[in-house]
């Protein structure tokens, strides 16, 4: 007996909270994957990452409004188009930002942090001017709402399942792209030794731009997924940025597996604790634990051993 619950109750609580944690985990993974590519692989601190995510969320909201107004027959399928559009919009914006801003700052990693923070302020204001300061909710097609009843005390929301499926798909895609495809080999070569990669004929500037674009595009997809669990407002991105950075650092910045493992640990711990404590205390305990572990093991959970 614990906290006055029987073991059967505790089992259902763990299952339900575990599933709630899985949804949080999916959004964390999508956010963190983009950031892991940008921060872990490129060494750029992108404080505007949350705003790229929110761009994806706004694109999703606009797509849903467009379908509702002009193509109500296809409304049940808009979400898949929205994901693609969110990826393209955030990715293109990311590439533009890389070209205008980031590429001048590769040798000054701390300064990218300040410049991208400035960028995030500008983007927030732009969103506020275009979409208004109010929170924007997205109407889900009917088949994505509701939940599946597994047992009499455990039920699972369907949109959560979709977010998880999406996350699995994107993660697999990124893994294939980074670890199997020729392009991913180039990315890793540039990150491990820029001068040598340049010398063997890799167009490092192009690789940088595409890598940054890919990271931002994935953030856009995270934003599309995010619309299912939260409402979109101009400043919503900022709430997640520190958590996401911790996920990436905790996992070991250059390891994608580590990112996923740490996103899993952090989100599961948090959602389980949230049931027993208040939300803010759960967050504090998780953040403190992560910071504590990072002080003992600054390189993160998983380390890629590279000779530089």
Partner 1 sequence: MRTDTFLNRKDIVAILLLAVFILVALPLVLEPFRLNLFGKYLTYAFVALGLVLCWGDAGILSLGQGIFFGLGGYCMAMFLKLEASSVENTKIQSTPGIPDFMDWNQITALPWFWQPFHSLTFTVIAVPLVPALLAFIVGVAMFKRRVGGTYFAIITQAIAAILTILIIGQQGYTGGVNGITDLRTLHGWDIRTDHAKTVLYFVNGFLLIACLLVAQFVRRSKLGRILVAMRDKEDRVRFSGYDVASFKVFVFCFAAALAGIGGAMFALQVGFMSPSFVGIVPSIELVIACAVGGRTSLLGAVYGTLLVNWSKTTFSEDMPQLWLLAMGGLFIGVVMLFPNGLAGVWRDYADRYVDRLPWFAASRKVPPPVASPTAATMPPSGTIPTPNTMQVASLELGHGQ
Residues lying near partner 1 in the complex (CB under 8 A): 39, 43, 45, 101, 104-105, 107-111, 113-115, 117-122, 124-125, 128-129, 194, 238, 242, 245-246, 249, 253-254, 278, 280-281, 283-284, 287-288, 290-291, 294-295, 298-299, 303, 306, 308
State the nearest-atom distance from the C-beta of 156 to partner 1, in Å: 29
Instruction: Please name every residue paired with 232 in a beta bridge, in sequence order, or none if there are none.
Output: 136
Q: What are phi and psi of 14, to 5 degrees?
A: -60, -40
State the nearest-atom distance from the C-beta of 194 to partner 1, in Å: 7
Strands 154-157 and 147-151 turn out to be antiparallel
Q: Which is nearer to partner 1, 25 or 127 (CB)?
A: 127
CA distance 161 to 177: 24
What's the angle, vertex CA 54, arms to CA 20 and CA 233, rounded to 5? 85
Q: Which is nearer to partner 1, 142 or 298 (CB)?
A: 298
State the nearest-atom distance from the C-beta of 45 to partner 1, in Å: 5
CA distance 125 to 218: 22
* DSSP reduced 3-state for 278: coil
State the nearest-atom distance from the C-beta of 135 to partner 1, in Å: 18
Question: For residue 195, what are its two tokens?
Answer: 């001068």
State the nearest-atom distance from the C-beta of 197 to partner 1, in Å: 13
Q: Which is nearer to partner 1, 114 or 181 (CB)?
A: 114
Q: Which is nearer to partner 1, 150 or 306 (CB)?
A: 306
Tell me whether residue 292 is exposed, middle or buried, using C-beta atoms within 10 angstroms of its C-beta: 0 to 12, 13 to 18, 19 or more.
exposed
Q: Which is nearer to partner 1, 53 or 221 (CB)?
A: 53
CA distance 243 to 250: 10
Q: Which is nearer to partner 1, 134 or 180 (CB)?
A: 134
Contact 69, 253 (CB under 8 A): no
Question: For residue 181, what are its two tokens?
Answer: 């495809």
State the nearest-atom distance from the C-beta of 81 to partner 1, in Å: 31
Q: Which is nearer to partner 1, 162 or 290 (CB)?
A: 290
- The region that residue 221 occupies, defined by phi over 0 for left and psi between -120 and 50 for alpha, beta otherwise, is alpha
Question: For residue 288, what are its two tokens?
Answer: 């403190």
State the nearest-atom distance from the C-beta of 181 to partner 1, in Å: 24
């Amino acid at each position: 007996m614990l906290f006055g619950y029987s073991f059967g109750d505790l089992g259902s609580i763990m299952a339900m909270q575990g599933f709630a944690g899985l949804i949080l985990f999916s959004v964390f993974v999508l956010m963190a994957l983009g950031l892991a590519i940008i921060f872990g692989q490129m060494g750029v601190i992108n404080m505007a990452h949350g705003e790229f995510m929110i761009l994806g969320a706004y694109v999703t909201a606009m797509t849903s409004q467009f379908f509702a107004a002009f193509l109500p027959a296809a409304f049940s399928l808009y979400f898949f188009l929205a994901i693609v559009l969110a990826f393209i919009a955030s990715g293109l914006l990311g590439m533009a930002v890389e070209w205008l801003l980031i590429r001048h700052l590769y040798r000054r990693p701390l300064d990218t942090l300040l410049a991208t923070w400035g960028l995030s302020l500008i983007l927030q204001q732009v969103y506020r001017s275009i979409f208004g300061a109010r929170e924007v909710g997205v109407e889900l097609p009917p088949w994505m709402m509701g939940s599946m009843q597994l047992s009499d005390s455990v039920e699972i929301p369907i949109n959560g399942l979709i977010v998880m499926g999406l996350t699995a798909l994107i993660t697999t895609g990124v893994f294939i792209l980074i670890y199997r495809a020729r392009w991913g080999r180039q990315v890793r070569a540039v990150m491990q030794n820029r001068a040598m990669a340049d010398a063997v004929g890799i167009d490092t500037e192009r690789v940088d731009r595409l890598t940054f674009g890919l990271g931002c595009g994935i953030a856009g997809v995270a934003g599309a997924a995010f619309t299912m669990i939260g409402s979109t407002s101009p400043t919503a991105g900022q709430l997640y940025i520190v958590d996401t950075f911790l996920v990436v650092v905790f996992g070991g910045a250059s390891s994608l597996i580590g990112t996923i493992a740490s996103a899993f640990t952090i989100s599961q711990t948090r959602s389980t604790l949230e049931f027993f404590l208040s939300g803010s205390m759960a967050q504090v305990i998780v953040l403190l634990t992560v910071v504590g572990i990072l002080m003992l093991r600054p390189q993160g959970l998983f380390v890629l051993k590279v000779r530089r």
